[in-house]
Chain A
Amino acid sequence: MNIIKKILELFSTPDDPKEKLEASAKKAKERLQFIIIDDRTGVSPELLEILRNEMIKVLKKYMDIDESRIEIDIENSGKTKALAVNIPVIQVKRGSSITGSEV
């Protein structure tokens, strides 16, 4: 069996040995691509906290928001990431829908 496999291997000119199941370089590349995307978009809890506070500051100029129920998180979906923010609005401030200049 083994010898037959060897012989078959001889004739199957591997145009791309990276296609071979046991070829680990292909695996290495795939893993690296994921790891590096993760590293590059790495958002620390500290950064999330800063973002949260900055967003509250800006939004408060224009609307009343429920600060206690703000949700902010990084969501992974495959190779991409999304910043998911959920901010319950209590009331839009008067006038801000036109220019916002009164605030």
Chain B
Amino acid sequence: MDEQESVVIQETELKEESQNLEKEKARIIVVTSGKGGVGKTTSTSNIAVALAKLGKKVVAVDADIGLRNLDVIMGLENRVVYNFVDVLEGNCRLNQALVRDKRVDTLYLLPAAQTRTKDAVNQEQMIKLCGMLRDEFDLVLLDCPAGIEGGFKNAAVGADEALIVVTPEVPSVRDADRIIGMLESMGKSPIRLIVNRLRPDMVRGGDMLDVPDIIEILAISLIGIVPEDDNVIRAANRGEPMTFASKSPAAQAYINIARRILGEDVPLIQFDTKPRGLLGNIRKILGI
């Protein structure tokens, strides 16, 4: 064995030892949905930031190959050099592809390839990538294609757990049900639900599915409710996920979700979805 090789081996041994001492088991969580455009990227970015602010070493992976936009939502698009397909094809090392977010320690982005199609990676490659990330991070969040799109299975294959994003609409809930079945058969556990874009006023008026209805229909556990919030668009415009600073309702909801992911028992925020009584009706008609 030549000298260089032995040095390398020593280094990896050291690394492994220190990991055994301090690093808890990494968790890989896929963020997905049945239908597209329901808030996967919004959820991934905000939860990743919140988890990092809670002290965890986190990487947000843009696993939505060809529909790359996590970098833009996180405001890191100017710092992207390589992507994870480059890592898998040996064009660069993992460290070179990871973009460190300077706004909070311990937060990283692993970008997607924009010019590739979803079949650019196969399941073995994705499992390999997840293995590499598992060694480096406490939490890996995969921003995954929607289930009805191609590439979903490949992107999700390496994950342990799943977060399903659903909006309170018929097609979204229906497609979520199909994807939950697929994730169950892939052995993901736990699979938990984020209800996004809830409008308490519409629920109150009987014109939007309420969260208990959705839970009843899908029969899975809830990890959080995110209200419709204009700050989502403001944050996207700025490239600054809300959980960096904003006290907006959606930011608060995502921080709570992050804490629940870490096992904290955080009570659900109660939205005013209950029907108003006589006084409430008078107020409503008078507009006060």
Contacts and interface: CB of A to CB of B under 8 A. Distances in A.
A9 B177 contact: no
B181 A40 contact: yes
B275 interface: yes
Interface in A29-47: 29, 31-33, 35-36, 39-40
B288 interface: no
Contacts, number: 58
Interface in B197-230: 202-210, 213, 217
Nearest to A35: B174
* Size bracket, chain B contacts: 20 to 34
Given A6-B285, A13-B278, A40 B177 contact: yes
A15 interface: yes
A17 B177 contact: no
B170 interface: yes
B173 interface: yes
A25 B282 contact: no
Nearest to B280: A13
Nearest to A19: B206
Contacts of B278: 10-11, 13
B122 interface: no
A61 interface: no
Given A17-B275, A28-B170, A39 B209 contact: no
A32 B175 CA distance: 11
B62 to A, nearest CB: 29
Interface of A: 6, 9-11, 13-18, 20, 22-26, 28-29, 31-33, 35-36, 39-40
23 contacts: A10-B278, A10-B285, A11-B278, A14-B275, A16-B275, A17-B204, A17-B275, A20-B206, A23-B205, A23-B206, A24-B207, A25-B203, A25-B206, A25-B207, A28-B169, A28-B209, A32-B173, A32-B217, A35-B174, A36-B173, A39-B174, A39-B178, A40-B181
Interface of B: 169-170, 173-174, 177-178, 181, 202-210, 213, 217, 275, 277-278, 281-282, 285
Given A6-B285, A26-B206, 5 more contacts: A13-B278, A17-B204, A31-B170, A32-B217, A36-B173
